[in-house]
Amino acid sequence: MQNTLRILSYIAKAAGFIATLHAIPEVAPSTGVIIFFVASLLKDTVDRIGDFLDNGKPDWRS
């Protein structure tokens, strides 16, 4: 599950970065920033919730 989360986070962050560079004409750069932010926030939130449900303390994985 952890590897799946990392892969999905990487894909979302890459898509956000590409959109920020305005490489996709239909997507505004501000949308890319939002995508990148949401992907980062979601990954960190899921990691923290998983740590809490696993053993009740943060493991601070990278």
| 62 has a pLDDT exceeding 60 | no
Give 28's DSSP letter: -
Q: Which helix (H) or strand (E) holds 33?
A: helix 29-55
pLDDT of residue 61: 58
Q: What is the pTM of this model?
A: 0.67
Q: What is the pLDDT of residues 30-56, one digit of tens each?
A: 888 888 888 888 888 888 888 888 777
Q: Which two tokens stand for residue 14?
A: 């890459």
Task: Give the type of residue at 45.
Answer: T
3-state SS assignment for residue 13: helix
- Dihedral pair phi/psi, residue 60, rounded to 5°: 50, 55
Q: Are 27 and 58 in contact (CB under 8 A)?
A: no
Q: What is the pLDDT of residues 8-33, one digit of tens each?
A: 888 888 888 888 888 878 888 888 88
